[in-house]
Amino acid sequence: MKKYLVLGTLAFAFAASPVLAEGGGGKHAKGGHHGKMMEKMFEKMDADGDGSITKAEFDTFHDQRFDELDADKDGKVTKEEIKAHMEAKRQKWEEKKEMRKEGFGQGGPGSDDDGGDSSE
């Protein structure tokens, strides 16, 4: 059931991205932040890079996300685990944001990543 909910949400997001791309100005112009997120998510799911996502690739991607959330590895995800995961991601984002302000990250001195979040 959860996979169908995720699949439905993902399908809606992909369907909505052309609308975002055609939108007005601001950060949503040409897809903006959401368009980039969709592209990154698609690339992560498309494990073999063939431009399409198989059911196996979809399932593998979401199994990995579940495993990330299941902090105590009991086969269940609680609201507390989700909150803790989201807080950790928020803190990591804040740290990267601070590093960019100081001239590091996104290709800056000592940076080996693109400044993005690899678990999105």
Residue 101: pLDDT band with limits 50, 70, 90: confident
Handedness of CA 53, 58, 64, 69 (dihedral sign): positive
Q: Residue 30: pLDDT above 70?
A: no
What was the pLDDT predicted at 24?
A: 44
Give exposure, 78-105, as e/b (b: 16+ Cβ within 10 Å). eeebeeebeeeeeeeeeebeebeeeeeb
Are residue 80 and residue 52 in the same domain, yes or no? no
Are residue 7 and residue 32 in the same domain, yes or no? yes
Domain that holds residue 86: 73-120
Which amino acid appears at position 90 of this protein? Answer: R
- Model confidence pLDDT, tens digit, residues 43-68: 999 999 999 999 999 999 999 999 99
What was the pLDDT predicted at 103?
A: 80
Are residue 11 and residue 65 in the same domain, yes or no? yes
What was the pLDDT predicted at 102?
A: 84
What was the pLDDT predicted at 1?
A: 58
- Which of 69, 84, 100 is a domain's end point? 69
